[in-house]
A = this chain, B = another copy of it.
């Protein structure tokens, strides 16, 4: 997906929210916002959202002199999600369809997205998503594909959310003979996306057969870019690909045979999916 006009104000909101995680100085926040506006105004709007997000977040990092404005909030949401883990495991184990419940929870966890908005309520979202009707539901295709898969590529999205992903993976491993899980995390800080340290912190490294893949953030040497030939090889050599969240959908929606699990949280993504904001999506391309 290319950037849409709606993304332009949204990047500014993101920059403002990011700067507030680092500084209470309103003059500095205004300086950052003005610089973001100036740079966006001078730019062609023909890139992808991740490319432009990188430029915008680079301004915040530079002006605030920090490498990772979301560092504290990322840890905080890993901890919040870990504290919910026992209760969520109970929900899955007591469910008549544990895999479907785990899928729903993994989508609920996708609300923890500071790219889309810092205004969300995880505790309200979980019960809602457990009941809500899917706007797109390819769950039956998941069952069929899992039954004949050995290698699972799982593209993670955000911190905190990866605890929900862990539950989904544990539920899959309980029932299906997956020999290898390739778990994709970001290779450098971008918004509140999960990195290797988060995955290890919440114990994804303890899952049998797991290996980590670093995904690039449109900056050289940060990992495997989602539009690189090496990444395409990875897609085609995996038996099943599960992709979490809006960012991965933006980057990969044109590829076939990917299971996209996400909550639609912005008008651009909702529109592309012919869905509404707040809709829950389980779409196999």
Contact = CB atoms under 8 A, between A and B. Distances in A.
Interface residues of A, number: 23
A16 B40 CA distance: 16
A45 interface: yes
Contacts of A267: 119
A118 to B, nearest CB: 8
A267 B120 CA distance: 11
Contacts of A10: 9, 13
Give the secondary structure class of A's interface: helix
Interface of A: 5-6, 8-10, 12-13, 16, 26, 29-30, 33-34, 37-38, 40-41, 45, 119, 121, 267, 276-277
A5 B16 contact: yes
A2 B9 CA distance: 20
Nearest to A33: B5
A127 to B, nearest CB: 15
Given A41-B41, A119-B277, A267-B119, A33 B8 contact: yes
23 contacts: A5-B26, A5-B29, A5-B30, A5-B33, A8-B12, A8-B33, A8-B37, A9-B9, A9-B10, A9-B12, A9-B13, A9-B16, A10-B13, A12-B12, A30-B45, A34-B41, A37-B41, A38-B41, A41-B41, A119-B267, A119-B276, A119-B277, A121-B276
